[in-house]
Every structure is written in C-alpha cells, then in structure tokens.
Structure 1
C-alpha cells in the first residue's frame, strides 16, 4: 500500500476490525454492480471511495431527467449519456486510482454467467424479478456472494446470499421464481428518494464487510424498512433443501440452466429458420 493510499484510507485503517490487512483485501477486490440507478448509485459511490480495486458497472439504460431525483451518480449535464459511462465519470472523479469498467448492456445467459465468474462479489441493484433470478442463478453456479437490495414507494429491503456455504440460502429460496408476485416499478409506483440511498449504502456496507472478511453478514436475514415510520423488521430464513436453484439437484449449482437456455435459443433459432424457409417457398 502506497503512502497516498495509507492517507486516503486512514480512517478505515484506524478501525481495529479492519486495519491495514482489511483495507488491502478491499483494494484487491473486484465488485460487479448490476444496475446504476437508485440503488447502484450510492452503492458504487461508497465502494469507489472506500477503495474497492475494480468495479464493473453494468447498465443498459441512459440517464433520464426523471432519474435525477434519486440516482446520485448522474447529473443534469449527463442526461442522455449511458448510465454506465456517467457512473464511470462520477466514480473516477472520487477515486481515480481504482479501475472502473463500464458496460452498457443488458446481461443474460452466458454473458451474465461469464461476468459473474470474474467477480469476487456481486451487488444486485436491479428493479425486476427476472433479472434478479438470473443474477442469483449465476451467483449460485459460481458460489459468489450476492448482496441484493430493493426499494419501491417507501419500502426497502436488503439481504446477503453467500453462496460459498453449502447450507446458505439463495434468492430463490426466499422468493421462488414463477410464483405470482406483483411486479412494481418506480416509473409507475414512485419511490422516496432517500430510501434508495439508505438501502444502496447498506449494500455497500455489506459488500465491504465481505471484501474485508469482517463482521457478521446479513446471510439468512432479510431486513425490511418502512421509511414512513422509519421502522425496521428482520425476517430470518433458511435454505430450502428442495430449491430448484441451490438445492442438491438445483440447476444453479450444476449450471444446467445455461444448457437449457442454450437449447431454448437453438430451438427458437431452428423455428425461425423453418418459418423463413416456408415463407420463401
């Protein structure tokens, strides 16, 4: 660690639980942040300022004027810019010594799986269940710790799914895919601006604890916040041993979901080629 780094991170180093060793582990960590919006903004800002050595920031969207109420990575002058690039500029301005990799794309399938494999930990800062479940499957496959947050209206939640443990629950254990869950979006339901800051900052805190290997994580605990009353609740949960993703025969642990996805794409491609051939004749 250089003299400049010792000075920059001195307030971390003063913490007995963290110290130079913990800060060095933070500097050597690669964090994958999926979503550069309301949750990803504060999470990325704190991870960058705290010295996470490599941050891959993924978002396929561009900065919109309506984002500025809560997405603090972005500025009015960057409306229309790719959120990933806007985020890179903001994070580099705070800490130019770390490596920021912006990716403007919607990750899925093999691309998502390959990117998760390269990271030390993953932060899910997305806003829809399909993407959350895809991220969870990739994290289970590669046994990567996942820090997941959500915020809508005045309600927030956060948990950690540390898939390095055989008995650790995954996101699917708590929120099974395919169940009738109401899909709610900020664009329709609204969201209290500071709520995204609270949850996103807590995601950064959990990610830093994972990176430094300190403290007790939120594994097996879901924290729920009602920002109108500012009351927290804790829900404890365990691994579902029949889980279709992380259970003994789950498709996440085996990577079977990737083979199925590839087969589905091939079937769709074959059907498309057949339809084209029929129309041509």
Structure 2
C-alpha cells in the first residue's frame, strides 16, 4: 500500500514518445503513477508504427504527445498526463526536470541525452536512461541524489559520441519493448523504494544471442558535469 501511494503521489518526466517512451509511458500509467509529463516535438508517421506501440493508424499525422495522452487516458483515466509538444532548450529542460521526482530518458540522440543528464545533475533528480539501436540495448539508473553516484557523462564523454538513430540505423522492434519495460521497472523501484536499482550499474543486451552483460560504473572525479 505504501509503495502504491508513493507511485500515486509521484511526478515523472518522459523525454521522447517513440520506441522506448511507448512501453515506459504505458507501464507507468498502468502502475498508477500520479502525473506523467511527456516531451516530444515529432508527429506520428507510418514508419513509427512497427515499434512505437503508443500510436496506431488513427494517430497518423498527430503530434506524438497528443496520441500518447489519448492512449494513456484509455489505460488509466486517473493518471494526470501533461504534454509538451516542443523541443526544450537547456533552460526549459531544467525547469521541467525541477518540477518532477524522476526523469526517464527515452530519446535517441546523444545530444539530448547529455542535455537531460546535465539538467538532472543540476536539479539532483534520479535519471533512468535507456538506449536501443539495431540489435543492442542498454539501461541504467543515474541517481543524482547520491553525491557518490556516477552521471551519464561519467560513462560517455561529450564530443566522442556517434550520432546514430533508429530511423537511420534501424532497430529490431521488440528490443525497444525490452529496454523500455526495464526502464519502467527501474522507475517504479526508485519511486516506491522497492529493491535495489541499477544505480552504479549498466546492463547491456546483445539481442542476437540474447546475452546480458552488467558493468559496474564509478563516478568520474574529473567529469565536467558532476565532478568536484
């Protein structure tokens, strides 16, 4: 009961209403998270339907956030859904992060991930990060409430990234479902205080062999974002 009340009182921010954002939003709404804010500036295209299960043919041409809000209302009408149909700049992103308890990064570019990470570090909010491309996926939790915890940029150095996206490089549809579902699970755990989160650990999936690897992450004292 205590955990369910914690979810009911929680506010989360989901960056991206695509392949990862779809299972994340649907499972969090079904779990009873009280307020879900979704950020996405894109429209639903027929090429999205193969993997972005928030949307259907009736949503073609609509803003993804509006399509998402409609679907989540059908799943759980008691959840408050807020939408931001625009790309947030650094100031807007930090403001949005400051108003929630937890952030889920479901974007597909390193540029956005670095920006989301900076905002979470500045506002000391836990970040559940997921990524999927081709047949590979990864998920981790960067809990900025812990001064000793690493941030996303402790793992990836800004400027060394390769700009790959699902639209240009492809992704196997069930892979985003797997990673997105894990992001939802980690969010529920962090919000309710259940179990042990993936803080300080990175889980990587090779779907071609269906093998997982878990790497331990340490805080980089020289990190330009969270280092001392």
TM-score interval (norm. to shorter): over 0.9
Question: Which residue pairs with 1:52 in the alignment?
Answer: 33
Matched position secondary structure for 1:234 = strand
Shift of 1:48: 0.1
Taking the aligned partners of 2:166 and 2:39, their CA distance within structure 1 comes to: 19
Question: Which residue pairs with 1:186 in the alignment?
Answer: 166
Higher helix share: 1
Question: Which residue pairs with 1:148 in the alignment?
Answer: 129
Question: Which residue pairs with 2:48 in the alignment?
Answer: 67
Q: Does 1:33 align with 2:14?
A: yes
Q: 1:131 aligns with which of 89, 94, 112?
A: 112
Question: Which residue pairs with 1:221 in the alignment?
Answer: 201
Taking the aligned partners of 1:210 and 1:237, their CA distance within structure 2 comes to: 18
Name stretches of at least 5 consecutive residues in structure 2 with no aligned partner: none
Greater than 4 Å deviation, 4+ residue runs: none
Question: Which residue pairs with 2:142 in the alignment?
Answer: 161
- TM-score normalised by length of structure 2: 0.99
Shift of 1:242: 0.9
| Bigger Rg, which one | 1
Matched position secondary structure for 1:211 = helix
Write the deviation string for residues 17-61 of structure 1: whole angstroms up to 9, x where unpaired. xxx001000100001000000000000000000000000011000
Aligned residue pair count: 228
Question: Which residue pairs with 2:76 in the alignment?
Answer: 95
**RMSD across aligned positions (CA):** 0.6
Taking the aligned partners of 2:118 and 2:110, their CA distance within structure 1 comes to: 12
Taking the aligned partners of 1:39 and 1:214, their CA distance within structure 2 comes to: 22
- TM-score normalised by length of structure 1: 0.80
Question: Which residue pairs with 1:242 in the alignment?
Answer: 222
Q: 2:213 aligns with which of 219, 233, 236?
A: 233
Shift of 1:177: 0.7
Taking the aligned partners of 1:86 and 1:114, their CA distance within structure 2 comes to: 24
RCO greater where, 1 or 2, for CA within 8 Å and sep 6 or more? Answer: 2
Matched position secondary structure for 2:171 = coil
Question: Which residue pairs with 1:199 in the alignment?
Answer: 179
Shift of 1:237: 1.2
